[in-house]
A and B are shown apart, each in its own frame.
Chain A
Amino acid sequence: MKKILFTAGFMILSMLSDAQDFTFGKPTAQQFELKRYDKDTSAAAVVLKEYGKAYISNNDLAVVFEYHVRIKIFNSKGYNSGNVEIPLRKSDANTFEKVRDIKGITFFVDENNLIRNTELEAKQIFKESKAGKYHDLVKFAMPNVKDGSIIEYSYVIESPYRFNFRTWEFQSDIPKAYSEFCAVIPGVYNYNVSIRGPLRLTRDEAVLEKECFSPGGGWKADCSKLTYIMENVPAFVEEDYMTAASNFKSAMYFELSDYSDYRGAKHKVTKEWKDVDRELKTDESFGLQLKRKDFFKDRLEPVVAGKTSDIDKAKAIYTFIKSQYKWNHVYGCYAEEGIKKSFEKRSGNVGDINLALVAAMNSAEIKAEPIILSTRSNGTVNTLFPVLSDFNYVICRVTIDETSYMLDATDPLLPFGLLPIRCMNDKGRLVSLDKPSSWIDLSASQKEHQTVTMKLSMDNAGKIKGTMDILSSGYEAYNKRVAIKKFNSVDEYVEDLDERLPKVKFIKSQIFNLDTLESGLRESFEIEITNTEKDQFYLNPFFMDRNSSNPFKLAERTYPVDLGSPSESRMVVQMTFPDNFDVTNKPKSAALALPNNGGKFISDTKIEGNTLMLNSIVQLSRPIYTSEEYHYLKALFTQVSQVKNTNITFKKKI
């Protein structure tokens, strides 16, 4: 998905061309007449032309980003392109991005069929401070956006954040006919440049600009002017079951690797993992936190008292840390408050909590190391060179008797060794205090697993009585526990089940291991199902499934299907019925397998005398399926859905 284009430095000098911005407010006659976008006739709007340029200011070393776009609107679904939001990063009162020189114009055809234009008015531009914890928003609506309008706007952002220079997204929710980005980078700055997504650049070039960088004091440098052009960029359309859009969207990313200051001294920013390792180890919010082992010494004594094996100690410490902190729902691989302070406040971000877990484990002499990772919604990380800003999460890995367990203490319902699904995103980096860091596969250690067992018997009146046992483990048990905890009590949870299924009465119920997280969750019910009709009765054993339709509805799939974890669900039903009844309809038998051992579906319903036996297994052995495998997956679920939607019909013999 990701490849390094090159390190932006001085190495490339190609032909001198002069890419530049297009003239503001001068759409061509052709653009006015455009009725649809031929490359994608379903497009409600298209970016006709888009130009961006980023450079480092000679005044204050800010990254200056000039943006200019011209968009054709075809119909009302495209009006959203006329509602513009510019997010501005903000760290504190002194460090923030600002936007200036916002300019906009709309060309439209008026009621008399004349082309007219309206400019964006300054008083119609609004600023929303602190729209998020770390950003403000500037918003405006382009005037007179109608079918056939052309809107055009431009602005300049000044940013003190040089580290990522400026990310350029070639792809957005509408197609683009032409997108060009120009990065002017002084030779004293070295950026790693990468392109993401499946699309190819139409053109790219690099030219040298002599002494373009002169921040004063006689300090001068040449710049490389890098131009990236993509034409006919298709719209980016999200699909269900996919991870972060940024993993798949075509875009240019920059990462500062080193720079030289005015005295010529070189500063490495990121270069190699060994540099990153060293930085992390000495970072006040990371490595130094891990050294606060002593902080936990006394506090852990009562926790591990009486525990003899390391595994028991580790489990006790994990439970202790989970009970001490409330996660404030802020991500991050660094501690925001620090282990001590957050412990006292009993609240912290991911970094505070999981680094505390590592420190606590180490303090009990259990080998523990942090793994930094990027959550599913944050995108995958660059594995070619270290890009620390790709990471937004940290977990703890403990190793006991050569077995490793990955732990996250932000969620009290996670059992020892189970990571939340949000962490299931390809690879993480294990940061060891005494060894070089290394890549670790994060793939789920446990799957989503459920077995439903029913033993039922039906009487002459169609009343079905018996037991239903549901055993859930892995992610399924976690999900169930989360659902049950939303209720005021277990009784209310069962009452809700009972009320949702008016035909099924839950006569007795017992839930085992609700708080014993490391064991599977077992729900044991005594049930009674009523049939209202005479002489013909029905049973659908899958009545607990909320949605039994095929989750895969698209004819074609562009991106991989990412389910997060493997899964397996079994159903075993044994049911007796009166001798004077026949089974006239039942789910068909099926046995299907996905290619490459991807999974299977087996369903079998047998009648022996007056006993019906149904067995079904749906097994998906991998978390991710490629878009080529999609058809098999869809076909498998067509069968699953058909079986689940078939009522077993019992009919009185005549």
Chain B
Amino acid sequence: MKIWLLISVLASLGLPALAQKNYDVSLIPKTLLARAGAVIRNDETTIEVKGLDEVYYRKKHAITILNESALDEASLVIGYDKTTSIRSVSGRIFDESGNPIFKISEKNMQDRSAVSDVSLFDDDRVKFFSPAKLSYPFTIEYEYEIRTRQSLFFPSWIPMRTTGVAVESSVLNFVCPESFILRFKELNFKGKADESLSEGIKTYRWQLNNVNAIRDEPFSPHYEDYLPTVKLAPEKFAYKNLKGSFSNWEEFGRWMSDNLLKGRDELSEPTKAHILGLVKNISDPKEKAKKIYSYMQSKTRYISVQIGIGGYQPYPALDVDRLGYGDCKGLVNYMQALLKVAGIESYYTIVQSGSFKKDIMPDFTSLQGDHIILCLPFKNDTTWLECTSKDAPFGFLGDFTDDRYVIACTPQGGKVMRTPRLSATDNKQIRTANFKIADNGSLSGKMTTLFSGAQYDNHHTLLNEAYTEQKKKLPKLYTLPNLEIEFLEFTQHKDASPETREIITLNSSNYCNINEGRLSIKMNGLNQMRPLKEIRNRVNPVKVPRGFYDEDTITYLLPEGYKIGLPPKSTIIENAFGKYSANVTINGKTITYKRTMLLNEGYYTAEQYDSLVTFFQEISDADNLIAILNKI
């Protein structure tokens, strides 16, 4: 949603051309068939740099589709935009024995815009083809050539990118003049690049053969942590007419700053005067920044507009000021310009966003990341701002961009920095509830929940809704039977460690099960752990990307005419993954249930996954605790 890079066009590339191969399905090595719905027979990508603004991608891709589950893999999608043109495309379809049965040419392909619904404007387009009715198995082979007028960005080579697809052969060739300096980084790749030089032309070649299909495994790390990948970047490059070079983050940051940001921070005189007026009685720079941030939040709204230099360049501050909207680049640049008026330094900072943390690689400089935030380097008090949200607290990034390496672009050069971490015990949900059980089994009462850290935004979707809508939507978050909300209130405490408080007065008829004079009360109807899926013969290491701590204290006032039997039993589970406890205390007519759950952030081996499943399952079982009352 808040993407700043537009080169997604090229990101789908992965392949090129050799002598005719025999696509007889029986020639596929048997070991590759395990878990495979399709087998990539041959995938060859050649990237040829002829000049800095003349780069060719030649791709040949042949895949055998074994059954319906992998039919989508038979489709071809080629993205293009104003810098990229498709020079040729063709293909053939082969039957089980490898005999050609159908030819594909450019006229068989459809063309459409690839603009996402959320974007006001960008110029991505795609051509696509998917085959007609065929009996399985069949093989489809595509060949195409793309020319692009930029050498700033090269797609990574990721030979195994889809679950359920085995790879017989995958190759990347990079061909360039001897003078062209290619930087590359191999990740999880056992081999090495073959490099050769002939008549002033350098060739690099990476190859991977006979790899089995991968599975979708929960709690897997980022694919760059376990799948073979080669990342490529130029030293000198062009983007159409714009030229530049960088080989480390410092140079990259300077290039960004000089070429894409410089001069875009101008503001009108009235705006400058207004900012100076806003902060004139404030001496603390951080307080000034806070004031300006809330001004910026009230003045602007986020809209995705991807234009200019592949979508890397922000809208000028003057435009954002006049129009009152911008994308992440435009809004960060605008905020930076406003701060500059008040004499506050800040850095335009590139980050890979998402709750699943992903670093900008500190040791490999290339176009990375998909979002921009603003860094305010106050002495010993570095402060970070998310500029696309109208209600984010000052200095709080939440789980969207926390705890990861980022690149700050400054006129003095780029800096690798790290955003603040939210630890498991920062990410809290603390609930207290006082409920009354009626003798017809209904439950009523009040509960108060505090959300903080990465959980601050848990119920964010409800916050800006009208009260009637909030009441309507809440039953989707709390699945108590026949939930009726009598009263509901959200309050937010907004600072660098913000907190959301939710107070609900509710009523749930049929909460308890009454049967043959027994009334059973679910002790935990509000926060139950879901079991985790098992994975036989897991391959990937395990990453719990983010920890949290939940605490529920619930008091039930029991109805007259019943007496409680034995107290439900307590549970304590503690291990490397976290800690869980649930216990019940009985005090006259009240039962108090207390549950705590801590999940640690962590990195574990594939073998430890089974224990994680057990941990989740034991918690899930313990969460089913009931108290049984007998009619007197």
Residues of A bordering B, CB below 8 Å: 41-44, 75-77, 79, 82-83, 106, 108, 111-112, 118, 121, 124, 126, 128-133, 139-141, 143-147, 323-326, 345-347, 485-489, 492, 495, 498-503, 532-533, 538, 549-550, 553-555, 584-589, 634, 638-639, 641-642, 646-647, 649
Contacts and interface: CB of A to CB of B under 8 A. Distances in A.
Given A42-B467, A141-B323, A647-B624, 13 more contacts: A42-B469, A131-B112, A143-B323, A145-B301, A324-B133, A326-B134, A495-B536, A503-B531, A503-B617, A533-B621, A538-B624, A553-B483, A588-B514
B460 to A, nearest CB: 12
Given A128-B115, A502-B532, A554-B472, A43 B466 contact: yes
Contact of A143 (B322, B465, B476, B482): B322
A315 B10 CA distance: 47
6 contacts: A126-B121, A144-B325, A326-B134, A502-B613, A641-B481, A649-B626
Contacts of A347: 132-133
A554 B624 CA distance: 26
A488 B301 CA distance: 46
Interface in B136-150: none
Contacts of B323: 118, 121, 124, 141, 143-144
Nearest to A111: B274
B534 A129 contact: no
Contact of B69 (A488, A538, A550, A553): A488
A177 to B, nearest CB: 17
B515 A588 contact: yes
A46 to B, nearest CB: 12
Given A131-B113, A500-B533, A144 B510 contact: no
B479 interface: yes
A349 to B, nearest CB: 12
Given A488-B69, A501-B531, A587 B35 contact: no
Task: Give the most central of A43, A325, A638: most B CB within 10 Å.
Answer: A638
B111 interface: yes
A553 B475 contact: yes
B398 interface: no
B112 A141 contact: no
A239 to B, nearest CB: 10
B325 A143 contact: yes
B113 A128 contact: yes
B383 to A, nearest CB: 23
B574 interface: no
A550 B481 contact: yes
A646 B513 contact: yes
Contacts of A43: 466
Contacts of A129: 113
A447 to B, nearest CB: 26
Interface in B607-629: 613-614, 616-618, 621, 624, 626, 628
The 4 nearest A-B residue pairs measured at CB? A42-B466, A347-B132, A326-B133, A144-B324
B418 interface: no
Contacts of B68: 485
Contacts of A76: 301, 390-391, 464
B534 A145 contact: no
Nearest to A77: B464
Contact of B303 (A131, A141, A532, A588): A141
Nearest to A324: B133
A131 B535 CA distance: 41
B298 A146 contact: yes
B113 A587 contact: no
A346 B624 contact: no
B513 A139 contact: no
Contacts of A131: 112-113, 115
Nearest to B133: A326
A605 to B, nearest CB: 8
A487 B518 contact: no
A638 B482 contact: yes
Nearest to B68: A485
B443 to A, nearest CB: 13
A75 B465 CA distance: 10
B535 A499 contact: yes
Nearest to B274: A111
Task: Give the most central of B115, B323, B469: most A CB within 10 Å.
Answer: B323
A44 B466 contact: yes
A649 B569 CA distance: 14
A151 B46 CA distance: 52
A41 to B, nearest CB: 7
A41 B536 CA distance: 54
Task: Give the most central of B325, B465, B469: most A CB within 10 Å.
Answer: B325
Contacts of B112: 130-133
A533 B571 CA distance: 11
A128 B533 CA distance: 43
Contacts of B239: none
Task: Give the most central of B295, B301, B484: most A CB within 10 Å.
Answer: B301
B585 interface: no
Interface string B285-298: 00000000001001
B164 interface: yes
B113 A126 contact: no
Interface in B328-363: none
Task: Give the most central of A75, A550, A634: most B CB within 10 Å.
Answer: A550
Given A76-B390, A145-B301, A485-B68, A346 B531 contact: no
B374 interface: no
Contacts of A492: 35
B111 A130 contact: yes
Interface in B279-330: 295, 298-299, 301, 303, 305, 322-325
B324 A143 contact: yes
B257 to A, nearest CB: 26
B482 A487 contact: no
B164 A488 contact: yes
A42 B135 CA distance: 55
Interface in B367-424: 390-391
B621 A638 contact: no
A579 B539 CA distance: 45
A253 to B, nearest CB: 26
B619 to A, nearest CB: 11
Given A145-B301, A146-B324, A499-B534, A638 B481 contact: yes
Given A41-B466, A555-B484, A499 B324 contact: no
A326 B324 contact: no
B79 interface: no
A613 B411 CA distance: 77
A589 B621 CA distance: 24
A584 B565 CA distance: 11
B36 A488 contact: yes
Interface string B452-471: 00000000000011111100
A553 B473 CA distance: 9
B37 interface: yes
B520 interface: yes
A118 B472 contact: no
A326 B135 CA distance: 11
Task: Give the most central of A111, A346, A486, A501: most B CB within 10 Å.
Answer: A111
B621 A532 contact: yes
Contacts of B131: 326
A547 B287 CA distance: 49
A641 B301 CA distance: 43
A553 B518 CA distance: 27
B67 interface: yes
Contacts of A82: 301
A641 B305 CA distance: 46
A639 B201 CA distance: 75
A500 to B, nearest CB: 5
Given A129-B113, A146-B324, A77 B465 contact: yes
Interface string B499-536: 00000000001100111001010000000000111111
Interface in B425-446: none
Contacts of B67: 488-489
